[in-house]
């Protein structure tokens, strides 16, 4: 049986197909107000595609930069199996890092740093030169990394209870950047040795009383932390010297109450077994 559609019906279907779910200016303004006030907010681009989410993200970034400083790097979120399982993701998601979200080792932050605050053991790679953009393997990435830095990220999932937290809605809000605590730089003098150390290290996240909250090998992030940089480049990121690359979580996201007053991440197997800590108040 043949079904003949009217011209008006065809036009209607075409309009649906071409419709996008990029956030409006009013929605972006509301999001920024809620973000700054640590108030739960509606999801953006919830019914849209990843393209819609990236359109919304660009608007969100532009609206947040006057408050958070310029973008100084990029983050690959949902890079570990537990994180992907929690949010139903089949691959990572791309977000950004703002200058003014960064705090120094030992920083004290309010336990309510966001509407839906969580924390995680992460790691930052510092881009040494633009040659990284031609890299195709972790070893080639590390040849263009000037330093590695321990990193506890303090994201804010932001979205109100009942709102969908999916790869699309997380991408729309730039993968929830809010705060992060950076440890001291570990210079990369021997890229081959550092490549191996990152693969072999064990990352442990402890609460303030010493309880182990998460523990994972370096390979827990996409098989090797440097693969986060390769994934970001596959999604169109072009790194500049000095950019920070957040490789993602070594384990699940943790609510701040489980920190019992703070947290420490230890990177056993990197030079000096470095740590980074944060205090919650």
pLDDT digits 0-9 by tens, 196-215: 999 999 999 999 999 999 99
- Residue pair 97/69 in contact (Cβ under 8 Å)? The answer is no
Q: Which pLDDT does position 13 carry in this prediction?
A: 38
Residue ranges in the chain modelled with pLDDT below 50: 1-19
User: Hey, how many other C-beta atoms are within 10 angstroms of the C-beta on 29?
Assistant: 13
Q: CA-CA distance, 215 to 29, in Å (whole number)? A: 39
DSSP bridge pairs for 23: none
The per-residue pLDDT for 201 is: 98
pLDDT at 9: 43
* Euclidean distance between CA atoms 37 and 228, whole angstroms: 31
CA-to-CA dists, residue 198 to 31, 125, 158, 267, angstroms: 37, 11, 31, 9
CA distances from 220 to 35, 38, 57, 92 (A): 30, 31, 27, 13
Task: Give the chain's domains with CATH numbers.
Answer: 22-280 (3.90.850.10)
The DSSP annotation for 162-215 comes to TS---HHHHHHTTT---EEEE---EE-S-HHHHHHHHHH-EEEEEETTS-EEEE
pLDDT given at position 169: 97
């Amino acid at each position: 049986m043949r079904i003949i559609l009217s011209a008006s019906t065809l036009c209607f279907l075409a309009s649906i197909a071409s419709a996008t779910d990029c956030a409006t200016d009013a929605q972006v303004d509301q999001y920024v107000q809620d973000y700054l006030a640590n108030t739960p907010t509606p999801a953006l681009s919830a019914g849209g595609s990843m393209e819609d989410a990236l359109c919304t993200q660009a608007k969100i970034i532009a609206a947040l930069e006057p408050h958070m400083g310029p973008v100084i790097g990029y983050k690959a979120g949902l890079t570990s199996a537990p994180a992907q399982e929690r949010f139903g993701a089949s691959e990572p998601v791309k977000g950004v890092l703002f200058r003014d979200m960064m705090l120094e080792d030992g920083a004290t932050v309010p336990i309510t740093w966001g509407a839906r605050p969580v924390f995680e053991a992460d790691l930052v790679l510092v881009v040494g030169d633009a040659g990284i953009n031609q890299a195709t393997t972790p070893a080639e990435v590390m040849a263009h990394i000037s330093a590695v830095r321990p990193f506890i990220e303090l994201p804010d999932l932001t979205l109100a209870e009942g709102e969908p937290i999916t790869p699309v809605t997380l991408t729309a809000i730039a993968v929830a950047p809010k705060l992060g605590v950076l440890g001291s730089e570990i210079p990369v003098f021997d890229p081959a040795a550092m490549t191996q150390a990152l693969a072999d290290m064990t990352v442990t996240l402890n609460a303030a009383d010493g309880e182990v909250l998460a523990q994972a090998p370096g390979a827990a992030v996409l098989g090797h932390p440097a693969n986060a940089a390769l994934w970001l480049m596959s999604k169109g990121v072009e790194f500049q010297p000095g950019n920070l690359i957040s490789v993602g979580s070594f384990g699940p996201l943790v609510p701040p109450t489980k920190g019992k007053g703070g947290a420490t991440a230890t990177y056993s197997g990197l030079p000096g077994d470095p740590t980074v800590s944060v205090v919650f108040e």
